[in-house]
Chain A
Amino acid sequence: MRNWVSALIPALVAGMFANQAGAGEINVKVTLPQINTSEYHRPYVAIWVEKPDQSVQKNLAVWYSQKKTDKGEQSDKWLKDLRQWWRKSGRDQSLPMDGVTGATRAVGEHAMTFVEGKEPLANLPAGQYNIAVESAREKGGREIVRVPFTWPVKKAETVKAAGQQELGDIIVDLKP
């Protein structure tokens, strides 16, 4: 994933200079912190573009277990624990969502690039938004972190926020 992104960025940067009306880009880096506990489970995480009224404009990524549990239950049983996302969007979706949902991720840094005109970002109307990142962990806690940004991006900018417990640094790198 990281290799893919770093290979992609120079290409996109080059593309930007070649064409002034190039596609805007949102790079999101999410750090899942190391949590010392006797029983660690990877968190469920949802990442989306949020409007000022806290409604969901675009779902960018949802990481959850799509395997059945030992008891044969669907793992989406726990999706409701991403409670903000579940209420604002998840319950309205038919899951899995193409290009959005994926397996849970390990502790560490996860970089994603979302490009204007391409799913899942596609065409974002001009305005104020947040990148919202919500994490919920089995036998653990739940946390939501928001990083504000304005679209379209006028000049390259990096905006940061950090979680207290369940999320580490959230770095949003914006490119015009």
Chain B
Amino acid sequence: MKHILTLVSIALAATASVAHAHGVWIAPSSTVLSAPQFVSFDAATSSVPFMIDHRPLVIDALNIIAPDGSKVTPVNVMKGELRTVFDAKLEQQGTYRLELLRSGFRASWKDAENKPKRFMGTAEALAKEVPADAKDLQVSETDSRMENFVTVGKPTALKTSGKGLELVVATHPNDLVTGEPVELTFLVDGKPTEGVEVAIIRSQSRYRNNTEEKTYKTDKNGKLKVSLPEAGMYWLDADFKDNKVSNKVAKERTLAYVVTLEVLPQ
């Protein structure tokens, strides 16, 4: 049973990272706090980021990491029809990191009757599920990281893992204000990487005629500069493809990174 659950969540993860048009997001009730307290989160996949209009996000693989590296268990978890809700009690001073890491393999092929078939899951399961004589077989590895940051008191330095696609924000992600441009560096397996495609959308898109999505590409140093002139919650999505697969069954690796950034007024 447990195996099935793992498979299902990996499958969902894979779907989510393909369908970036359907924004995957986690939104905190606060990101800057002056005293320890509860923070509440919404998590969903939706037509536009932060719009509660599609499906709840599966958060089984979510980690909430306290400033001292210990883990905080989410409480009051509620999986609704349209979104998942959970609370976390933030008791330490410093920056908490929420991370949802998802990875797996995706295959598509045609069966003997030329019907399209799909598979999402682990490499081992893929070997079992995909017939040896599958026609037009395409296999890719997916690896995605989704993050949120919340700070109690003074922000603390953040570390990257050196695995997959990651972001380093020159200004601490909980220290963003209007009128101060932000320098972002994207790392692939720990190395600044050129050509990472980034999209940024501000929240509350229902109340304007255009999502005002902005797109960017990292330069040869893996950097890009963005100005976020309006206060609000921003959804940032980054994507990159390469061929550094962990299992030769796949030809390419699809990397994704999603973070929620709150920009406060000056």
Inter-subunit contact A80/B175 (CB<8 Å) = no
Could you tell me the distance between the alpha carbons of A102 and B105 in the complex, rounded to whole angstroms? 59
Quote the shortest CB–CB distance from A14 to chain B (angstroms). 43
Contact with A along B1-43 (1 / 0, CB 8 A): 0000000000000000000000000000000111111000000
| Contact stretch, chosen from A16-24, A82-90, A167-175 | A82-90
Inter-subunit contact A73/B153 (CB<8 Å) = no
Inter-subunit contact B154/A83 (CB<8 Å) = no
- Cβ of B100 within 8 Å of any chain A Cβ, yes or no, is no
* Contact pick for B35, options A73, A83, A87, A92, CB 8 Å: A73
Inter-subunit contact A91/B35 (CB<8 Å) = no
- Cβ of B116 within 8 Å of any chain A Cβ, yes or no, is no
Within 8 A of B (CB), among A69-101: 73-74, 76-80, 83-84, 86-87, 90-92
Majority secondary structure of chain B interface residues (helix, strand, loop or mixed): loop
Inter-subunit contact A74/B154 (CB<8 Å) = no
| CB closest residue in chain A, given B177 | A87
Inter-subunit contact A84/B33 (CB<8 Å) = no
Total contacting residues, chain A, CB less than 8 A? 14
What chain B residues lie within 8 Å of A76 (beta carbons)? 34-35
What chain B residues lie within 8 Å of A90 (beta carbons)? 34
Inter-subunit contact A77/B177 (CB<8 Å) = no
Within 8 A of A (CB), among B171-219: 175, 177
| CB closest residue in chain B, given A74 | B35
Within 8 A of A (CB), among B131-177: 153-155, 175, 177
Q: Can you name 29 A-B pairs with beta carbons within 8 Å?
A: A73-B35, A73-B37, A74-B35, A74-B36, A76-B34, A77-B33, A77-B34, A77-B35, A77-B37, A78-B34, A79-B34, A79-B35, A80-B32, A80-B34, A83-B32, A83-B264, A83-B265, A86-B32, A86-B34, A87-B32, A87-B175, A87-B177, A87-B264, A90-B34, A91-B34, A91-B153, A91-B154, A91-B155, A92-B154
Known: A83-B32, A83-B265, A92-B154. 15 other contacts (CB 8 A): A73-B35, A74-B36, A76-B34, A76-B35, A77-B33, A77-B34, A77-B37, A78-B34, A79-B35, A80-B32, A80-B34, A87-B32, A87-B175, A87-B177, A91-B153
Nearest 8 pairs of A and B residues by beta carbon: A79-B34, A80-B34, A77-B35, A91-B154, A74-B35, A76-B35, A91-B153, A76-B34
Residues in B lying within 8 Å of A, measured CB to CB:
32-37, 153-155, 175, 177, 264-266
